[in-house]
Structure 1
Amino acid sequence: MADQESDGPGPGPAARQVTAAVVAVDQRLPLLDAAKGAVRKVFPDHWSFLLGELALYSLVVLLLTGVYLTLFFNPSMSEGVYNGSYLPLRGVTMTDAYSSTLHISFDVRGGLLVRQIHHWAALLFVSAIGVHMLRIFFTGAFRRPRELNWIIGMTLFVLGMVEGFCGYSLPDDLLSGTGLRIAEGVMLSIPLVGSYVAFFAFGGEYPGHEIIPRLYVMHILLVPGLILALVGAHLTLVVVLKHTQWGGPGKTNRNVVGMPAFPQFTARTTGLLFMLCGVLALASALGQINPIWDFGPYRPDQASQGAQPDWYIGWLEGALRLMPGVETRVLGHTVSWSALVPALVVPGLLFGGLFVYPFLERWVTAARGEHHLCDRPRNQPTRTGLGAAGIAFYAVLLLAGANDLLALTFDVSLQGLTRVLQVALFVAPLICFLVAKRVCLGLQAHDRELLLEGFETGEVHQTIDGGYGESRRRLTAAQRYRLLARDLPEPPPPPALLPPDSGRAAAATYRLRALRASAGGWFHRDRVLFRGAVEPPARLPTELPATPPAGPAGPRGPEEDQ
């Protein structure tokens, strides 16, 4: 029998060798199975989910530029006379750390560009984490089962601040040295052990000869290692727990609707990486940042005028400037509240509250199920108001960190401006909370109007009896679904009254439950209910009528009668 003719030539020798090599590797390391799962992973199609990737890619740029800078930086506080290529500082005594930074900036090929890319990427890294955490907060993406990921994200933000401060202090210039001087004062303000902590950190009396090498080890080894480990844990939890997503047709708490990892998401995220690198390179080539040669080497007897740290540290300096000078003598020890409270107590309370907030909101709202759909901020007015208050609190402190420059620029009294900012630190968050909450309720009322009456078309028609009316366009089924997909948990009911002979344990439990009910009522008291449209339809027709079907009305919110 004659051999059958093949449809075409078979794979060549090179292709067979590659296939055999891939099979051999996969037999030892099952990479193909993992790749299949990664390729099939679905990513939500919304721009806000790219904020975390901005932080990730900024970290990649930081690692690459940091390795390059490490090759030329000398983290030594030994002093010598500078004889480099920057003429204005020739003959000036400076540390090797400052001298090597000048060498990177003026003598190493591309050194100044890489330095500035590194600094801009550091600012973007912390900024992207901050905005990403704000997105998670306002949309409720921290709720069960993602509380651990929220804690990891907050820890990454704190580590980013520490990493930035360590790197900012390494050049040993006059500006960063002023920051170290402030850090030493904060250490000394710790009751009882402050002097020991400062002595240990600086390796002796300030400034010593150990702080720069120790900051260098933290900057290139300890903190980056922790960041990389937490980033790995964060990405692992994202893969295991899946992404959150905005509510819409076909989107539930049991699925993820979006684009596959390959090729759509891969193309988008690769383009984002190239755009980020291009923007950082352009900003570094055109925008000067941290010109240490203008500040000069650090001297303990000098301080830079108009010194301003990076934005993520500026709010701490603002807190120090707003705190009045208060000291207390206790048991033979002086407690300096002017440094202890703004630099340690306030940040500790602020970040401590952020770390436990997911558990606190869960306790207040009595929510027990898993949440995979993002809240629209308007549908959670109390949480949105709290977030707006926190932003206002931070903004006032950031402005206070530049109160001397503001007073000089606008020709106002520095003392008067400080008094205004001290008042605004307490008044502005309260005002922003109330305004943000009322805006959310107004937007909820607008959504209810759209559900009941539809969109305004701008057309006016005359009725048969001579009057005038307005034409409205009905919402599509998908638009109605998006507005109706709301999570409205009921606050816990108040506890039953205790009998007179109850013990202390029962009384304590009663007070705790009463507190929980009161807090839950405050958190969920103000809302606008959509009469007859409490839940989104399970199956969507092509279009729903403008007026939702009749249903239970429920209690009316503050805007119900509008």
Structure 2
Amino acid sequence: MPTASGSRARGASDEEPLRPAFDGPLARRPAALVARLRQRAVPSHWSSWSGVVSFGCLLVLVVTGLLLALLYDPSGALVRYGGSYSLLRGVEMSRAFASTLHLSFDVSGGLLLRQAHHWAALVLPASLILQLATTFFTGAFRRPRQWSWVLLVGVLGLALVSGWSGYALPDDTLSGTGLRIVQGVTLGLPLVGTGLSWLLFGGELPGTVIPRLYVLHLAAPVLLVLLVVARARSALRHGPVQFPGPGRTEDDVVGFPAWPTAAVRAAGLLVSTVGLLVLMGATLVVSPVWRYGPSSPGHAFAGSQPDWYTAFLDGALRLVPPGWEVVWLGRTWTLAVLVPLAVIGTSSLVLASYPFLESRVTGDRRDHRLLDRPRDVPTRTALGVAGVTVYVVLWAAGSADLVATQFRVSFEGVIWTLRAALLVGPLVAGLVTRQVCATLRAADRDRVDHGVESGRILRSPDGGYEEPRDALGAAQRWTLTRAAAPAARPSPPGSGADARRG
């Protein structure tokens, strides 16, 4: 049986024991780290594990990206293709597109690397949005974790930049169509549009956009990794958050030990995420650039769609009335470009600063480790649902042309419907959400006061029927009463914990 640190086992010799050859600060650090992790509790709720999925996507992106960089040629110089894909043999194309075809058809495992990389780039924003949603609706952004929220928003922004820049690197016709749209939006900016377009494209499209985007595609993930490391340090410093429950207070965390239980669970989820992404890359075709052909300024796709995570930007441009511009100060101000950019930029700024705004409005300056149930904070929940509604409408507008063609309705009718939904939808969604929260809280109070339905039907002596109610368990009653009155919560009936940290 192991003895306590600093003690000696019974019957041990008084002579100084022999020390192993490797014994020093480096040898003691792992043992100290393991001991510390055994004392650290990790909540078991599923929302605390979504970060592992994001890390798995990032791991696949980094590994596959480094391997792809060895064979990709970020050059816009024109060559004649002479590879194994016969349908494009002899066609003039950029070195970037030719190297992409070489990766796909002539390098063993090259297509698997490309597709796994692309699928990871599609899943990463989804996992980050899921983290943002769970963090927002449960109040996990409150003090002392406001800056952790800002870092998470920054990680999402850099993930979008990384994905968009990588989307254009194959230099196929589909990505070229997207670059033409971006250049048009950039040139529509007053004062700075021309200079910004030259900085990004190096002149008229195609210019030197491929090597410039390649530099951006390498720099953005580096910054993303730095923000992830900073957020991980912040999480270790402030500790985990948890939902209310028996034994869970602002000072104690109840859950599994970080080592080995939580570590093994995280490793299993990480391996599953990586394995699923590799399986998707091996079986599901994505970005078949050989079908699109090389990019050309004179060619464009009808019905072309961006990757899903940037569709809301395209949708914002589509919902603005065409030709919406004014002349002011001797310049033409293209409101069809400025208004969408201003709305999205302002929304992003509000999203990043929301923890500070809520703290200022509510006057809450306390540190929080217990999460909120969304129903218990109806105003925040209604605001969140309204924001999600705006995002969904803009996202749907990005595919308005496909909706019109697939359902055989007029494109103008789809656009006007989405415009109305953008104006009315958030308000309706917010009001309905507040009512749903009030209904759920009333149901909780009824369960506390009268118990829950037992499912048993009893017949009374006079011939009537009734269903008796069962009283709530102590733990469930404590959770509901704590949510109803957080300032004067009752004492927990028990710990029920596998690990606890004070």
Q: Give the TM-score of the pair, scaled to structure 1.
A: 0.82
Residue 390 (structure 1) aligns with: 387
Whether the 8 Å contact between 1:375 and 1:487 is mirrored in structure 2 is no
SS of 1:374's equivalent? coil
Displacement after TM superposition at 1:47 (Å): 1.1
The code of the aligned residue for 1:291 comes to P
Distance in 2 (alpha carbons) for counterparts of 1:244 and 1:466:
53
Whether the 8 Å contact between 1:484 and 1:535 is mirrored in structure 2 is no
Distance in 1 (alpha carbons) for counterparts of 2:32 and 2:475:
37
Distance in 2 (alpha carbons) for counterparts of 1:62 and 1:488:
46
**Which of 254, 257, 264 is residue 257 of structure 1 equivalent to?**
254
Residue 450 (structure 2) aligns with: 453
When residues 53 and 487 of structure 1 are mapped into structure 2, their CA distance, relative to the original with a 3 A threshold, is farther
Residue 525 (structure 1) aligns with: none
Report % sequence identity. 44
Q: Give the TM-score of the pair, scaled to structure 2.
A: 0.92
SS of 1:459's equivalent? coil
Residue 318 (structure 1) aligns with: 315
SS of 2:254's equivalent? coil
**1:369 equivalent in alignment to 2:366:** yes
Displacement after TM superposition at 1:311 (Å): 1.1
Q: After the TM superposition, which residues 312-461 of structure 1 pair with which residues of structure 2 at under 5 Å, given as runs?
A: 312-325=309-322, 326-342=324-340, 344-461=341-458
When residues 39 and 167 of structure 1 are mapped into structure 2, their CA distance, relative to the original with a 3 A threshold, is farther
Q: After the TM superposition, which residues 163-562 of structure 1 pair with which residues of structure 2 at under 5 Å, given as runs?
A: 163-209=162-208, 211-220=209-218, 222-325=219-322, 326-342=324-340, 344-464=341-461, 467-486=464-483, 535-540=488-493
SS of 2:455's equivalent? strand
Whether the 8 Å contact between 1:185 and 1:339 is mirrored in structure 2 is no
Displacement after TM superposition at 1:416 (Å): 1.1
Q: Which runs of 5+ in 1 are unaligned?
A: 1-6, 8-15, 490-533, 543-562
Displacement after TM superposition at 1:418 (Å): 0.9
Residue 5 (structure 2) aligns with: none
SS of 1:76's equivalent? coil
Distance in 2 (alpha carbons) for counterparts of 1:405 and 1:462:
60
Whether the 8 Å contact between 1:192 and 1:333 is mirrored in structure 2 is no
Residue 126 (structure 1) aligns with: 125
Residue 60 (structure 1) aligns with: 59
Residue 517 (structure 1) aligns with: none
SS of 2:456's equivalent? strand
Distance in 2 (alpha carbons) for counterparts of 1:334 and 1:188:
12
Post-superposition CA distance 1:225-266 (Å, at most 9, x none): 211111111011111100000110000001111111211112
When residues 24 and 257 of structure 1 are mapped into structure 2, their CA distance, relative to the original with a 3 A threshold, is closer
Post-superposition CA distance 1:297-328 (Å, at most 9, x none): 11111111211111110010011111112111
When residues 423 and 82 of structure 1 are mapped into structure 2, their CA distance, relative to the original with a 3 A threshold, is same
The code of the aligned residue for 2:256 comes to M
Distance in 2 (alpha carbons) for counterparts of 1:355 and 1:24:
41
Residue 49 (structure 1) aligns with: 48
The code of the aligned residue for 1:125 comes to L
Displacement after TM superposition at 1:132 (Å): 0.5
SS of 2:299's equivalent? coil
Distance in 1 (alpha carbons) for counterparts of 2:237 and 2:288:
45
The code of the aligned residue for 1:260 comes to P
Displacement after TM superposition at 1:140 (Å): 0.3
Equivalent residues, number: 480
Whether the 8 Å contact between 1:77 and 1:97 is mirrored in structure 2 is yes
Distance in 2 (alpha carbons) for counterparts of 1:541 and 1:357:
35
When residues 541 and 168 of structure 1 are mapped into structure 2, their CA distance, relative to the original with a 3 A threshold, is closer
Distance in 2 (alpha carbons) for counterparts of 1:81 and 1:541:
74
SS of 2:180's equivalent? helix
Post-superposition CA distance 1:529-560 (Å, at most 9, x none): xxxxx743214289xxxxxxxxxxxxxxxxxx
The code of the aligned residue for 1:338 comes to A
Find the structure with the greater CA-based Rg. 1
Distance in 2 (alpha carbons) for counterparts of 1:176 and 1:190:
22
**1:83 equivalent in alignment to 2:82:** yes
The code of the aligned residue for 1:108 comes to V
Whether the 8 Å contact between 1:318 and 1:402 is mirrored in structure 2 is yes
Residue 69 (structure 1) aligns with: 68
Distance in 2 (alpha carbons) for counterparts of 1:123 and 1:360:
31
Displacement after TM superposition at 1:144 (Å): 0.7
Residue 496 (structure 1) aligns with: none
Q: Which runs of 5+ in 2 are unaligned?
A: 1-9, 11-17, 496-502
Distance in 2 (alpha carbons) for counterparts of 1:170 and 1:475:
59
**1:140 equivalent in alignment to 2:93:** no
Residue 500 (structure 1) aligns with: none
Residue 497 (structure 1) aligns with: none
Higher relative contact order (CA 8 A, sep 6+): 2
Whether the 8 Å contact between 2:242 and 2:253 is mirrored in structure 1 is yes
Displacement after TM superposition at 1:453 (Å): 0.7
Whether the 8 Å contact between 2:55 and 2:270 is mirrored in structure 1 is no
SS of 1:20's equivalent? coil
Distance in 1 (alpha carbons) for counterparts of 2:27 and 2:454:
61
Distance in 2 (alpha carbons) for counterparts of 1:487 and 1:283:
45
When residues 488 and 76 of structure 1 are mapped into structure 2, their CA distance, relative to the original with a 3 A threshold, is farther
SS of 1:320's equivalent? helix
Distance in 1 (alpha carbons) for counterparts of 2:105 and 2:332:
47
Residue 3 (structure 2) aligns with: none
Distance in 2 (alpha carbons) for counterparts of 1:137 and 1:539:
26
Displacement after TM superposition at 1:35 (Å): 4.1
